[in-house]
Structure 1
Amino acid sequence: MANYHGFVEYEKEFILDKDVTNDICLRLWGSYSSIQLFINGHLIHQSQNWNKDNPHTIGESPFTASIPLQFLKTDSINTIAVKSGTYSGWGGAVLFELGYVNKINRRFKQHIIKDVGVSSISLFIFIYFLFQYLLRKKEKYSLYIALSGLSVSLFIMGFFCHWYSLFNFAFSYWLLTFIGGINMYLLPIHFIHSFFNIKKGMIAKVFTVFYCTLSIFVFLEFSLTNQVFYFVKYIYIFFNLSYILVVPYLFFIGIKAIRQKLEFSKIMFIGILILGISFLLSMLSFASILRFDPPIGEGFFAMIVVFSFVLAKRFAQTHQNLETAHGDLISAANEIRELNDSLEVKVASRTRELSEKNELITESLEYAAQIQQSVLPAREEMVTLFEDYFTLWKPKGIVGGDIYWRHQHEDGFLFAVIDCTGHGVPGALLTMSVTSAMDYIVEQMNIFDPADVLFHLNNIMKGKLNQGSTDPFADDGLEIALVSCTNGMSRLHFAGSKLRLFALEKGEINEYKGSRYSIGFKRSRKDQKFEQHTIHFTEETRFFLTTDGFIEQSGGPKGFGLGWERFRKLLLESRGSMSETGSFLEKSFDDYRNEREQRDDVLVIGFTLDVD
């Protein structure tokens, strides 16, 4: 739209005292358009850009016009007239004063000092808290108080036409002053909600939408038309009326904070109260009831200063709390360091003690291993029994619960692979008891038949292990594979308790399973009979006995147990002497286990027999 054209005249009448001898002056704080100034019909000032055909030109900066005494009347009424072009429906001149030159200039300087001082402090608040917000981006109230300071500065400098003194351009008044004034009302609402962490209700949201819409409207209208005609003509009245709602709303939030006993709520309410008083005085000034400039801008400035003080106090308190916490952390760190040093000394001492005890235990276990190995049949004894053989004996610890036993008599020999419950020291202790019982059966009772040996072994071990007691934890026993062979006979007798005998000949493997009953356990019956197998063999027959440690070892890509099927396959793949077969099985076991822990004691015996 084209700019709104027209003229407007202001007149002021006064009677001059008779004793006036000095020149008086007229101070015009500014104008929105070019002007002409008359005294009793005499032209005493005209804007340099005055154009009677187009009064809408750039406005006039603040100036003081002297009024010569010869143009004044001392005996009748004098008339001052200001003729101005209109701008966006607003008249031209604003805030003119009449008086002595010295008085007017002094008052002007006071206004400058006050307004520039207020604006400078507001700008300092803006810069300081904007910096604080950048450091503490989670604290949005720092941003709100910073923008509030900027809005107050823009409004103060614009409302009293100081922007015209710096920038003789309509932008300096319309855009800066209106947008500053609009946001000067909105931002404290957001600040007080954010500071007290009070959720914004519908009223706060309506204020936000309303003032943001006004700011956008003013900016767009001025950018497109270089004026704010529609805003002044249609919307400005609603903007003025909204003032009446903002201040009571701030009072409401302040009282709510006090009732909730929130920190700093009373000091914050003082700032709101100062704003309320300035708002009341401004209303009285606008109504011409009180004769002074409306202090609405100063009221907002005072409230922002109070809010800034509270915010600075909170920052100082937070800093003090952080310093206290830092001191507490340092003290705690020192205590922890001292405790750690003390613990290190104790741990070092305890470690030495444990190391010494562990060394003693290790030495004891190594000695026990020597004893256990001394019980095992020596190589010289084994070669008298078998044509060829290997032993794969890998205890889980230094000592173990898997052992092999042999007894040789005039007519032949007995050989057994034994798996006692547990491993380590408990298993090793049980093996000593079992071998003692086996020696007793064959040497004292003269029993050499495998099934009969297992029958008596079961009863002896149940007695030794006190399996008749009611103690639920005393339930130990063993599994065994026992073979016997008579000199000059090509027959092997086998009886077992859960363990098996494998016979490999000409690429075929035969499997003989022991009875499914264990020996020596509470559940083992004293009258339990064991099945006996008789196997005919040749020089090519290869026999294998194993405990479950080899079979149940976990490994492979999925961590499954090795199993009987893989074991049989390994036996079929074995080649060469029995010693080579033992090495092959050991390597296969280690490859399958890979880096996994050995689960149990491992014992595998392979042998061949002489047919003669």
Structure 2
Amino acid sequence: MRFLIFISLCVCISFNNFAQFIPEEQLLSVSKKMMVLEDNTGTFTINDIVKPSSQQKFQSFRKKIFSHPVSKSAFWFKITIENKSNKDVWLSIADTRLKYIDFYTPKTDGTYSPPLLLGASRPQQNKVFPSAFYCVPIRQHLSPQTYYLRVKGSLNLLLPFEVGTTQSLIKKFDTYDQILNIFIGLVLSMLVYNLFLFFATHDRLYLIYVSYLAMVFLVTPFSNGQAMFFYSWFWDNFLVWQSPLFWTITLFVDLYLNLRQHALQLKRWLWALTVCLGVFFPLLNLIGIHMAYYLRFFQLMVLVYSFSLLICGVYLWRKGHKNARFYILGWSSVIIASFVYLFTSNGLLPLNTFTRQSLYFGFGLEALMFSLALGDRLNILKKEKDAALAQNLSLVTNQKEVLENKVKERTWEIQEQKEEMEAQNQMMKETHKALKEAYQEINKKNQNLLASINYAQTIQNALLSLRKGVVNALGADNFFILFKPRDIVSGDFHYIEVLESEQLLLAAIDCTGHGIPGAFMSMIGYEVMTEIVKIRRETKPNAILELLHRYIASVLKQSETNNRDGMDVALVVIDKQKHIMEFAGAKNPLVYIQNEQLTLIKGDKRSIGGQVRQRKEFKCHQVDISTPTIFYLFSDGYQDQFGGEENKKFMLARLKSLLMNVHLKRMEEQQKILNTTLEDWMQQGNETQIDDVLVVGVRV
């Protein structure tokens, strides 16, 4: 079974229309009288054909149309005609797609004249019959004459051989031309109409359909045997130049039926077939593989493709999509017309003007139906647009009413809120005035308090300043005091005094609390230390701490109240003549370095003041300072400071390491390093100072 493929190419050609009166004469079908021989090699000449061996190979065929699939072979036809009329007649081949036609006429001596060379690959001026169709002359002769016809083409053969006079053939061909002209006029009209719709709506679907109509305009005549162009390339590359037809029709169906939304699986199936028909087979044709090897598969694919297109329309029509009905009618007409043409070609239907030209009727009706479908689609879209506009107008009207009501409600709410805000604003003004007055009063008190604290700082600094005699006893370059109150005044203080026995007393004292409470405790501690050292003239470190404990407990009445304030103390007494340093500590230690060795003497585990559950005497420790010695007394403020990359305490171990690293430097430089290290430590941890800091360093 063969199935014709219809493709398109834009070619412009004019036709001769015969308007003069032609006598009606009947055509004679001679296909059943013809005999055929297939030349598989395509190399036989007329001399080979007339040989008896070749004559025996001729076979007759009993159909009105000779048809044969695509083949590499050449076909020789033999016919014996006795022309008893008084005029010349013509043998009609009626297919303009044949590439080569060689017609051999017998001479009187039994040989054959040089052939009449016709065909699409031959000069068209070789034609001897005034028509686009190929006809060869049968001259008048009193006896039967045998003629030979050699044909070869690159497509399938479809040859309805007929014999008739010039007038009868022109009449028939004129009918064919008129049908062709009507078809062309219809297609061009639909093309212009849809092109106008495209410019009016800017809907690309119309432009796609215009492209499809242009393809139909050029392809259908070629497939029907009425080619409008005669270039060998179009015959040799039939599947190449016809391939855009599949792309345009698939794209049109996809968009028109909206397959992506309504039938996604069918869409994928159609595009898979389109790629196969529009890419794979044309590629085989383009690289030179003869169509005889695969055209039957191609035709089968086209059959599947055509019915798939019809199934898409039926499927969507059954789902309730009314715009599919014109599509079904149009595509059904193409399929029916193709089958009529196919059955006629195989002798299953009688050959007449309708069956011979069925493709024009099918594609013409399809063009009309598709145009009606697009027009109907435009009407549907217009109705949907009008309905949407009406709905939108109704929504806008309703929204307007709702908004007006909301505006009224909102206006009333805003008015209430305005009145409420005005009342609140008045209250805020009054509150602001009261806060401003309170702020001014607090600021004034704060300034007074700050002035008092600053004055207290002045008193504390004056109290803690070293007398000239003390500085001389220590040596100006042999000591430093790092004193950093957390607040303006400090709860840490140092006490340094020269005793009557020319001994030197140094103490680093950390009172409970900091700021003003700590400062009060430091004042009490300073006065008590002065009482013990200068009035009672006590010189033993452990005895001084015992007396200090008693005085603090007595002054703060700790036996009568819940007051538990006190002090942590590190105290040394230096006897330079005996080269002895005595130490006693209340919790705080002594660190000294001799001969590059650091030693720490812990203080006793009890504080000055506060509650002591089990009374223990403070211990006195002696240190030989006959060798160069440097020692450090300090409160817990330095080692307890948070900071560093991990935001931890500085710790005693790190402080000892720092003191060991700097002990050989000048005392002033040691003080700067200790201060800088502490500042950097706090900055790394983004911390502020949490306690008063006191470090006393002395070289003896």
The structure having more radius of gyration, on CA atoms, is 2
The one of the two structures with greater contact order (alpha-carbon pairs below 8 A, sep at least 6) is 2
Q: Given the two structures, how large is their TM-score scaled by the length of structure 1? A: 0.48
Q: Given the two structures, how large is their TM-score scaled by the length of structure 2? A: 0.43
